[in-house]
Amino acid sequence: MKISREFNLVQEQSEFDFVDLNLSKDTKLFLNPLQFTQKNFKKVEKFLFRVYDLYKNNRRDEAIELFYHSSECNYNHLGYSNDGSRGRGASMEMLTSFFDKILQEDDEDKAKLMLTPMALVVHVPSFAEDRMSDLLFSILKREFVDYTLNQAKLYHIPISDKKISYGFYWDSDLLEWKELFNYCIFDSNDFPVILTPKGIVCKSYPFSASDFVQKILLPKRQEELFRQGIGKFNSKGQSVKLSLKEVYEIEITKAYSNQKSKLKKYIEDQELNQPTAYELYIDEQKSKTSYRTISDEELSDLTDQV
């Protein structure tokens, strides 16, 4: 049952600011940090800066543990939780490797560039849409609850008389996780519901390790290999570049055959030779953000699917 039907709302998806989600299942939509307001994006960055500061001051276990304080929340009905694909997220070893890499960066501005949700998704194995979306939701849980209560007042959805515990959110002033108590809206099964603005969701991230490799790293290597005389001959006997597929086979499939996370290991190695590659990639992604809002028709189709 959709939110609109659950709360007897006559409007359609196009008239709502929130996603009219199906409360009987989770919809495969994710929070896209590139579409956050600057204020909320800064709150996420403050979380990552705090992790980095602790890590830099040899409080490494404490730093990495901050990631595990966040957890999946079914109140927003987003993600993959119904098919059991969620887990505890990236391992301690994976996150440690990521922050070790940042510590080695001499340029403070470049280090800060890595302290973003996009960088985690691109560089840390197992950190993709679902786990990142969970983390973002936990960090900004207070904002989502406030948004829900404001929408409830706007549409005259009944609000509870008593406050409930929503679990933990990130207090960006105190720089710590705190338990959130607030009023809520309940569905007919007495289960709390949290609404999500439709302007910040996506079906998949416009940034990923694979996308970074295909759009930035491989084309650069394709050019370098050709300059080194590594190419092929076309039907006319002319020397031409290898295809990106052929470069991928040489550079990644064969060279990293024993690696579990081939792409992210390749990225780690290549960035030593292409230090500005990631910055170029993210600038490119930010410039395209305005084209990524999901239409109301598509949202309706997604939330109709059972």
Give the SS3 label for residue 48. helix
Report the distance separating Cα 57 and Cα 74, nearest Å: 35
- Residue 84's pLDDT is what? 40
Name the most confidently modeled range: 58-67, 110-119, 178-187.
178-187
Report the distance separating Cα 291 and Cα 265, nearest Å: 30
- The 10s digit of each residue's pLDDT in 143-170 is 999 999 999 999 999 999 999 999 999 9
- Residue 291's pLDDT is what? 54
Distance from chain centroid for Cα 287? 17
Task: Answer with the residue of higher pLDDT: 119 or 108.
Answer: 119
- Residue 72's pLDDT is what? 62
Percent share of the chain, pLDDT over 90 = 62
Report the distance separating Cα 191 and Cα 194, nearest Å: 10
Task: Answer with the residue of higher pLDDT: 109 or 269.
Answer: 269
Q: Torsions phi, psi of 30, nearest 5?
A: -135, 155
The average pLDDT across 32-44 equals 94
The average pLDDT across 28-51 equals 94
Work out the pLDDT band at 97, boundaries 50, 70, 90: confident
* Least confident span in 75-79, 92-96, 272-276: 92-96
Work out the pLDDT band at 25, boundaries 50, 70, 90: confident
The average pLDDT across 180-192 equals 96
Report the distance separating Cα 19 and Cα 2, nearest Å: 10
Q: How many CA atoms lie within 13 A of 300 on its CB side?
A: 10
Work out the pLDDT band at 113, boundaries 50, 70, 90: confident
- Residue 306's pLDDT is what? 56
- The 10s digit of each residue's pLDDT in 236-262 is 888 999 999 999 999 999 999 888 888
Name 178's bridge partners. Answer: 169
- Residue 88's pLDDT is what? 45
Task: Work out the number of other CB atoms within 10 angstroms of the CB of residue 128.
Answer: 19
Percent share of the chain, pLDDT over 70 = 93
Q: Is the pLDDT of residue 90 over 60?
A: no
Residues 33, 115: contact at Cβ < 8 Å? no
In 124-261, where does DSSP find H-type helix? 129-139, 141-154, 209-212, 218-227, 244-248
- Residue 146's pLDDT is what? 98
